[in-house]
Structure 1
Amino acid sequence: MGICDNRTIIVTGSGSGLGREYALLLAGEGANVIVNDIRPEAAASVVKEIEAAGGKALANSDDITSMDGAQRIVDGAVARFGDVQGVVNNAGIVRDRMFASLSEQDWDDVIRVHLKGHFCLASILVRRWRDQVKNGQKVDARIVNTSSGAGLQGSVGQSNYAAAKGGIASLTLVQAAELGRYGITANALAPAARTGMTEKVFADVMKKPDGEAFDHFHPGNVAPLVVWLCSPLSAGVTGKVFEVEGGKLSIGDGWRTGKVRDKKARWQPAELTEVVESLIAEAPKPQKVYGT
C-alpha cells in the first residue's frame, strides 16, 4: 500500500531530472502517473522504468503551453485511468542573460513555458474538478507548482526566470485562496537540486560526492515532499511555498507589510528621504539576490 494509491497524477517535464524522480516515487507509492515531456523517447523511458517496477504510467508529449495541448493531456489521462487527482507543474527552461542583453524572445520563451505552462493544465483540471463538485462528487485534488529561490529573492542573470518563478509563487497563493471550496489545494516548491538547468551554472557546488556520502543535491531528495503533497495526507495544507534542499525543508515567509509611518496628510516629496531611510533601517534585512 502507498500513500497515493489509485490517484492519477500528471507530472510535466518528467522525462529527466526532478520530474523523473517525482514520477518514479509517485508510482512507487501507488499513483498512476502521466509522464509528460516534450521528448517522446524520454517520457517512454521513464514509463518503462515505472512499469518494470510494477507501477502504472502513461507517456505523453503534448504541449503544456497551449489549452489544446493541456486538454489532450487530461483527456489521455482520463481515458486510461478514469480520472485525475493532481498535477505537478515541473517543466521549465532557462534563457540566462544579463538584463541589458535579454532579448524579447528570451523573455517570451521563459514566461510562456513557466507561467503559461502552469496556467493551462491547472485551468483545464480546475474546471473539471469544479464541475464534479457541482454534480455532487467529492473532490480531493492537488496542484503542485514549481517556484524557485530565484523567484523568491532574485538571481543575477535570470531576470526572466526570476520574474516567472515569482509569478508562480503569487499564482499559488491565489489558487489556494480561491479553490479550497472545491476540495483543491495549491502549494509550490522552491527546490535546490542537480538538474539539467543547474548542472552548468552550479556544477562545482552541486557535483555528486565521492564514496557513500549523502548526495545533498540529488533530485530524488525533493521527491518525497512532492509525493506527500499529492497524497490525501496533505489535505489540510495549502498556499505554502516549500524550500527543499538535500535533507532540509522549510516554508518560505513571503512579502509582509513592514513598519508604517502615517502623517495623516499628504507627504511632501522633499521630506520623504528621512522617512524612507528610517523605514529601511527598521526593516529586517532581506536575503541577498543570488549572485551578489
Structure 2
Amino acid sequence: MSTLQSPSSTTDLEHLEEDEPSQECKDVDIEKGQLSEYHGFWIPTWSLEGVMASQKQFQARDTDILLVTPPKVGTTWLKAILFALVNRMHHPNLQEHPLLTNLPHALVPILEADMYNKKKVKDLSHASPRLLSTHMPYTLLPTSVKNSTCKIVYVYRNPKDTFVSLWHFMNRVHSTTVSLEEAFDKFCRGMSPFGPYWDHVLSCWKESIDKPARKMIFLKYEEMKEQPTTHLRRLAEFLDCPFSLEEEAKGTVNDILRLCSFDNLSNLEVNKNGRFRIPNHETTLFRQGIDHASFFRQGNTGDWVNYFTPHMTKRLDHIIEEKTYGTGFKF
C-alpha cells in the first residue's frame, strides 16, 4: 500500500531552462501555438518541454504505478479509483477521505506537467508505490518506464465519444466556440492533444500483447462502466493489492465505487468551485486556472449519436477501419 503523496512538495532541477524553451522544442512544427508535432504525435505546446524532460530525466521504480490515457477517456474517474484503491489502508474512513477535498488530478501527479515543469519536480521520494499519470503514448514514455517492471494501467474509449467529450472540454477551458465541424476535421487528421487518437491506443495495445500480464493492463472505459465491480477487483489483483475476505464482507469494493462515482465527485464543493493550476506554467490558461467542474461531464456511453451526422460517422468509421486493418484490434 502507498504513502499519501503531497501535491505541493517540490525539488529544484538545475538541468531545465527556466525562461526559454529548448532548441529541440523550438524546432518542432507548431500550429497556432497550441499543438506541436513531436515524433508523430501532436503534443500541447505548453507540455512539450515537460514531455522531453521526463523522457530524459525520469527514473522509474519497479514499484511505480503509471496511469496512461489519451485525454477525455475517463482519466479523472480512473485517477480517483486508483488513488482510493492503493491508499485504502491509509484512509479507511471514507468520511474524511482526501478525494472529498481534492481534485483527483491534484492527488495523482501528471508526469509531463507536475513532475517536470520548468525547474520544479514533485518530491515523491517517500511514496511507495508512486502513483503517477500521463497522456503520453507508449512510444513517447521514458525509457526507464519501458525497462522497469512498474505497473502500467492503460484506458481507452470509443473514438466518437472521446471526440465529443474532448470538444466540450476544449471549448470550456479555452472559453472558445470552435465549431463541431472544425474540431472534427482536425480530430480526423490526427490533430488532437496527444493524438492521433488511434495511434495512441494502438501503440499501447501492441505493447500489452507483448508484455507480461503483470506489467500492463489494458482497459476499455465502456466495459468498466458496465461492470465496475468486476474491473475494480481486476485492478486490485493487477496492482498486487487484492481485496481481502474481510474487505469483501464489509463492502469495500462498493464503498470505493460510490466514493469515486460521477454523482459523488461532481457534487463535491471542491469540484464544483475549485480551479486547477499547474505551478510555473506561464500560459494564460494555467495562470487563471481551469474550473474543476470542467473535468466532470457525464460520460454517457453512446452520447456521440446526438452530435454526429451520417457523414461524420462514415468518415470516422472509415479512418478507424483503415488504421486498425490487419492489427486484430477492435474499438
TM-score strictly above 0.5:
no
- Indicate the structure whose relative CO is greater, using CA pairs within 8 Å and at least 6 residues apart: 2
Higher-Rg structure is 1
For normalisation by structure 2, the TM-score amounts to 0.31
For normalisation by structure 1, the TM-score amounts to 0.35
